[in-house]
């Protein structure tokens, strides 16, 4: 006998997925429509418009790709690189490395600008590399999920365009939590995922493409290597032509539409302010407990905080206790930081004062149980102080 599916209650405070509103879950249970039904086509139109709002762009080609954030990454590279094209990629964490891997598999001539994990890349280093490499595409990760680093974009965008390159940005963790500003920054290609600050289940990868990049797409010398991710065809399904390409994940589109509607209702300014205020509160609380953060203050992401695991503390044991005792999920380190950091997320629906206080209380309990001499209640007291300061 196969039993009915049951899952435990969790508070998702890792690097993704984030908690999802009950309204989004209800939207997912809405009855199916055909993927060319006039009512569904109207939902597609509204979803594109809401995505433009969150990306802060007027780009006509702004669509959710069928697949997770990694499908967004593949879409970005497979459509704009051909074998032999030069690409310059900023690598300061695991997802910069993944960009380079994806581009290399396409036969591109891959060059990198690398920085120590936990630090942003100095734009001056990009300038030297761009002059030397003369790339077709310059690519960076805006919010590096493996480290919690925010990469400033404006100077790199200007350098890329001054040298005739397209500017490609990974916004998987940043979209909906901090300003991406596609039009303001002048980003040519950006992609994200539905499961982080958008607070939608994983399964869609929002992508937006500038008119400059669309001209490059139209001028390709050969077909896009991936049929499934070929924007030259997908834009005709999402555009006025409505040519069939593949059956859209209809209920996931419902969910994304509702998640984006919730963002629109809150307002971008208010949403960014909430993430910033609560992210600062969490970080201040952790430091008040005597814990050390990986990233320097000016470059910390508000929605993802990397905390150094105290010496002598078992990384996985602490995470396991938080999950078993309190139902709180946080992430461990990846790659070079495996076993050295915890990654604590405050994304979208998960970004709440209650979660900040609960997590700091639970972490103090677990660490004190393991012999750490922590000032009782100092983390929560400092976090609440910062939250109250930010509310005025």
pTM: 0.96
Nearest to 138 by CA among 93, 96, 94, 169: 169
Calpha distance 112→352 (Å, rounded): 37
Calpha distance 70→61 (Å, rounded): 19
Q: What is the per-residue pLDDT across 81-95, written as a single tens digit (0 to 9) for each?
A: 999 999 999 999 999
Q: What is the per-residue pLDDT across 306-350, written as a single tens digit (0 to 9) for each?
A: 999 999 999 999 999 999 999 999 999 999 899 999 999 999 999
Cα–Cα distances (Å) from 85 to 79, 133, 135, 165, 244, in that order, read: 12, 11, 7, 11, 31
Calpha distance 175→51 (Å, rounded): 10
Residue 392 clears pLDDT 80, i.e. is over it: no
Edge-first strand listing for the sheet containing 109-114? 61-66, 204-209, 189-191, 166-170, 137-141, 86-91, 109-114
Cα–Cα distances (Å) from 264 to 48, 49, 184, 239, 255, in that order, read: 13, 11, 19, 23, 14
DSSP line for 56-122: T---SEEEEEES-HHHHHHHHHHHH--TT-EEEEEESSHHHHHHHHHHHHTT-EEEEEE--TTSPPP
The residue written with tokens 């609440």 in the block is 384
What average pLDDT does this structure show over 248-271? 98
Burial of 2 (0-12, 13-18, 19+ CB in 10 A): exposed
Q: What is the per-residue pLDDT across 123-173, written as a single tens digit (0 to 9) for each?
A: 999 999 999 999 999 999 999 999 999 999 999 999 999 999 999 999 999
Calpha distance 172→153 (Å, rounded): 15
Structural domains of the chain sorted by starting position, each given as residue range(s) with its CATH number in brackets: 32-265 (3.40.640.10), 268-390 (3.90.1150.10)
Using DSSP, state whether 14 is helix, strand or coil: coil
Q: What is the per-residue pLDDT across 167-195, written as a single tens digit (0 to 9) for each?
A: 999 999 999 999 999 999 999 999 999 99
């Amino acid at each position: 006998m196969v039993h009915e599916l049951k899952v435990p209650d969790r508070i998702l405070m890792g690097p993704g997925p984030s908690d999802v509103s009950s309204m989004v879950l209800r939207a997912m249970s809405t009855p199916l429509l055909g993927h060319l039904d006039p009512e569904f086509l109207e939902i597609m139109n509204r979803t594109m418009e809401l995505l433009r709002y969150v990306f802060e762009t007027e780009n006509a080609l702004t669509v959710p790709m069928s697949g997770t954030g990694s499908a967004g990454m593949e879409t970005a590279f497979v459509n704009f690189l051909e074998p032999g094209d030069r690409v310059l990629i900023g690598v300061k964490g695991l997802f910069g490395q993944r960009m380079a891997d994806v581009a290399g598999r396409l036969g591109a001539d891959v060059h990198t600008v690398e920085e120590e994990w936990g630090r942003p890349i100095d734009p001056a280093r990009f300038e030297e590399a761009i002059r030397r490499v003369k790339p077709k595409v310059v690519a960076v990760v805006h919010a590096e999920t493996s480290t919690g680093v925010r990469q400033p974009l404006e100077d790199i965008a200007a350098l890329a365009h001054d040298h005739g390159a397209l500017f490609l940005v990974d916004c998987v963790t940043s979209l909906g939590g901090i300003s991406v500003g596609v039009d303001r920054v002048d980003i040519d290609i950006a992609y994200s995922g539905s499961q982080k600050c958008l607070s939608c289940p994983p399964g869609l990868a929002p992508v937006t493409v500038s008119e400059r990049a669309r001209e490059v797409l139209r001028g390709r010398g050969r077909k896009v290597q991936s049929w499934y991710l070929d924007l030259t065809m997908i834009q005709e399904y999402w555009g006025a032509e409505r040519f069939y390409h593949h059956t859209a994940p209809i209920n996931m589109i419902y969910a994304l539409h509702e998640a984006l509607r919730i963002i629109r209702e809150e307002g971008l300014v208010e949403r960014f302010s909430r993430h910033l205020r609560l992210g600062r509160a969490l970080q201040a609380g952790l430091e008040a407990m005597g814990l050390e953060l990986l990233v320097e203050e000016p470059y910390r992401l508000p929605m993802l905080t990397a905390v150094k695991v105290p010496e002598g503390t078992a990384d996985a044991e602490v995470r396991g206790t938080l999950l078993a005792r309190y139902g709180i999920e946080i992430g461990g380190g990846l790659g070079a930081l495996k076993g050295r950091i915890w990654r604590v997320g405050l994304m979208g629906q998960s970004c709440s004062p209650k979660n900040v206080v609960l997590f700091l209380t639970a972490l103090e309990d677990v660490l004190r149980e393991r012999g750490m001499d922590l000032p009782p209640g100092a983390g929560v007291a400092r976090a609440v102080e910062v939250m109250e300061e930010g509310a005025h």
